[in-house]
Amino acid sequence: MYICFCFFQMALKRFRMILFLIVVLASAWLYLFKPNLIAIGIFWQKKEEATSLTFITESRNFLQLPDIDCSRTPPFLVLLVTSSHGQNKARMAIRQTWGKHRLVAGNRIVTYFLLGTTMNQNDQTGIIAESQKYRDIIQKDFIDAYYNLTLKTMMGIEWVHKFCHQSRFVMKTDSDMFVNIFYLIELLLRKNRSTGFFTGFLKTNELPIREINSKWYVSKDEYPGSMYPPFCSGTGYVFSTDVASQVYNISESVPFIKLEDVFIGLCLAKLKINLEELHSEQTFFSDRVEFSLCHFKKIVTCHYVKPYELLIYWNALESSMDEKCPDV
């Protein structure tokens, strides 16, 4: 009987010790990561009078900023590339190809990567080191997740508005894209527009997807409308810098939606800015396009390109710039 009682006492002490450790670890975890947990909502809040979410512009500090003074050396084109912590190979491939800082037809192009934060401190440390090495990362304190893509894109637009409004054009694109900057610059110069301009892969008469298992599901609470306004696919769109400032300034009065390209479309609709075609032929492709050198010379974007493919495609394109393709 005494042995049983001793065994019970030991088991009770062990249980108390385990419970104490759980409480300590949980407290430490909350202390370390609570800022990141609440950061997911730093840009939106519920209106008291309505159920819709609203984007909130606020002067929250950037964690990482690129090394550029746009007032001294204004770029012709700023490329904003949404990325995530695990896409370091894609970022490296872009830096070596279409995202390399350069002059095209005498016009300066710069590229910056947009990232949120992560709960993995090793990943965040790696991003800090990468930022210090390449000086091409823009980052704020919100959870880096697909459904925060609107926050990420608006962060880039905020940076342009506050730090690089002297540039002429902005392009927002993704890390798995091929971008023919040579043809893009050629078409922008031919277009000869510098204000009120927005172009990309146009999407019209798009209906909200109400299937809850879909990646693009949107509830009626989030967007009660039966049809989206015209917008451009988030895989790649280009706009004049004045539009960036207008979108940023009006964003707080536009109902928040997690689909970034739709949110930008809602802002443009409120601003009464029309979407335009960059060329009479299709140049923006939101899906994968099989590589053909002559075809890739006459497109601006294509999707789902792996880092090793990007290097191959780009080297082929760059080494054949002076070669003419047959007229189709």
The pLDDT value given to residue 9: 53
* β-bridge mates for residue 81, sequence order: 113, 173
The pLDDT value given to residue 60: 63
- CB of 117 closer than 8 Å to CB of 142: yes
DSSP 72-89: TS--SEEEEEE--TT-HH
The pLDDT value given to residue 110: 98
- CB of 232 closer than 8 Å to CB of 203: yes
Q: Which of 175, 169, 297, 292 is nearest to 239 (CA)?
A: 169
What are the DSSP E strand ranges found in the chain?
Answer: 44-46, 53-55, 77-82, 102-104, 107-117, 137-143, 169-174, 178-179, 198-203, 231-240, 301-302
CA distance 148 to 142: 8
Q: Which of 67, 87, 81, 64 is nearest to 140 (CA)?
A: 64
> In a 3-state reduction of DSSP, which class is residue 311?
helix
The residues, any chain, with a CB within 8 Å of residue 48's CB and separated by 6 or more, are: none
The pLDDT value given to residue 325: 87
Looking at residue 213, its amino acid is N
Helix orientation angle between 241-250 and 149-163, rounded to the nearest 10 degrees: 120
The pLDDT value given to residue 321: 87
Q: What number of helices (H) and strands (E) belong to the chain?
A: 9, 11
- Residue 175, classified by CB atoms within 10 Å of its CB into exposed (0-12), middle (13-18) or buried (19+), is buried
- Residue 49, classified by CB atoms within 10 Å of its CB into exposed (0-12), middle (13-18) or buried (19+), is exposed
Residues of the chain with pLDDT under 50: 1-8, 12, 20, 23-24, 26-52, 59
The pLDDT value given to residue 2: 43
The pLDDT value given to residue 30: 37
pTM of the model: 0.83
Give the up-direction half-sphere exposure of residue 269: CA atoms within 13 A in the CB hemisphere.
16
Number of other residues whose CB lies within 10 A of the CB of residue 87:
19
| CATH class belonging to 54-58+72-319 | alpha beta
- CB of 42 closer than 8 Å to CB of 62: no
The pLDDT value given to residue 14: 61
